[in-house]
Amino acid sequence: MMACAAVRIAAVVGLLAVSLAAASTAHGQSASKLWRIGFVGAESESTSRHFLDAFRAGMIDQGYVEGRNIIIDVRWAEGRTERVRSLITDLIQHKSDVLVILSTQAALEAKALTKTIPIVFIAGDPVGSGLVSDLGHPGGNLTGLAITLGEEFLGKWLELLRQVVPKITRVAILFNPDNPVNTSRLQAVQDSARQLNIKLQQRSVTDAAQLDAAFTAMDAAHAEGLLVFLDPLTVRHRARIVELAATHRLPTVYGLREFVETGGLMAYGSNIPALCRRAALYVHKIIKGARPADLPVEQATQFELLINLKAARALGLTVPQSLLMRADQVLP
């Protein structure tokens, strides 16, 4: 009897040893895995490198070191939407474990190309564009962060123009019709314009070569102000847009601080670098085993108003003190 008991104890000890060894091996494999993160920027590195830098900083916050436990495989579309599909296909072929996608159009391409690789996006109107069916329960292999540009938000752009140009009644909108998000943006700003008794002029561009003609058309229609919708095309060519707005003496509101830093008049929008940094947390959760379908899409919570006084003086405008006091940053 004692011999049998000894045999049973030895067997149990042996099984425990095998289990512990297997667990240790599995843990070692997980710890030593080099995770490959595919990063797609819709613009160019020269104009949008700081978005990537913010994401990298976020990964460092989560304890990752490039070359040790992650590889960030970067692709830039250079503002050309026709390049996005091939870039994402290349990242898929290079066995990316997670894709981080900046822009709605690029995220839609990624969604069409893979149903298995987790996708973390930073995009506008994820539900309206068809990226996800519900912010709280995105489903599928996508989740991420939403750039908020709803009716109330876009209405503030018009209010900003009204404050610096009190008698303004005609406002042009510069946008890319190929961006699916712009359909809902146009509807939202039209609703706000009706309430403010402002007439809108839509000027669409799908290529930078069309910018000069668009601004000439604004002149012909006697536009008194301008809104520029965020898009890979407008972000990439922001220096040219800011220059044309100044040449045609159009007070302009943008959705990104970088336009004001380039010389534009005003910007009110989401802090995109902050969203990029936040995206790293989503990647970390996915690496740790979370499913994108179970990670609610987070809406932007950090908004900033920037005003460029030099641009205002060049346009002969006086920015009200009340507006300056509300600004997060005033450039002299």
DSSP string, 38-49: EEEESS-HHHHH
Q: What is the CATH number of the domain that holds 59?
A: 3.40.50.2300
297 shares its domain with 228: no
- Residues 82 and 65: their CA atoms lie apart, in Å, by 32
Show the tokens assigned to 40. 């797609």
Whether residue 297 is contained in a domain is answered as: yes
Residue 122: phi, psi to the nearest 5? Answer: -125, 110
Q: How confident is the model at residue 154, as a pLDDT? A: 79
Which residue pairs from 111-117 have beta carbons closer than 8 angstroms and sit at least 24 positions apart in sequence?
111/140, 111/141, 111/142, 113/85, 113/88, 113/89, 114/88, 114/141, 115/140, 115/141, 116/141, 117/92, 117/141
Q: How confident is the model at residue 232, as a pLDDT? A: 85
Residue pair 325/175 in contact by the 8 Å Cβ criterion:
no
Q: How confident is the model at residue 224, as a pLDDT? A: 98
Which helix (H) or strand (E) segment holds residue 245: the answer is helix 238-247
Q: How far is CA 167 from CA 154, 159, 171, 185, 305, in A?
A: 19, 12, 11, 24, 22
Which domain covers residue 60, as residue numbers? 34-147+272-302
Whether residue 179 is contained in a domain is answered as: yes
Residue type, position 123, single letter: A
44 shares its domain with 73: yes
Q: Provide the sign of the torsion angle of the four alpha carbons 197, 156, 149, 105, taken in this order.
A: positive
- Residues 6 or more apart whose Cβ sits within 8 Å of residue 191: 151, 155
Show the tokens assigned to 223. 């536009």
Whether residue 23 is contained in a domain is answered as: no
pLDDT tens per residue across all 332 residues of the chain: 434 444 343 443 343 343 433 333 333 334 578 999 999 998 889 888 999 999 999 999 999 999 999 999 999 998 788 899 999 999 999 999 999 999 999 999 999 999 999 999 999 889 888 999 999 999 899 999 998 655 567 789 999 999 999 999 999 999 999 888 888 889 889 988 999 999 999 999 999 999 999 999 999 999 999 999 988 899 889 999 999 999 999 999 999 899 999 999 999 988 899 999 999 999 999 999 999 999 999 988 778 999 999 999 999 999 999 999 999 999 99
Show the tokens assigned to 95. 């066995």
163 shares its domain with 46: no
Whether residue 155 is contained in a domain is answered as: yes
40 shares its domain with 179: no
Percent of the chain with pLDDT over 70: 89
263 shares its domain with 308: yes
Q: Tell me the sheet residues that pair with 75.
A: 40
266 shares its domain with 280: no
Q: How confident is the model at residue 29, as a pLDDT? A: 35
324 shares its domain with 280: no
- Number of domain units in the chain: 2
CA 314 to mean position of chain CA atoms: 31
107 shares its domain with 185: no
- pTM assigned to the model: 0.82
165 shares its domain with 237: yes
237 shares its domain with 122: no
Whether residue 98 is contained in a domain is answered as: yes
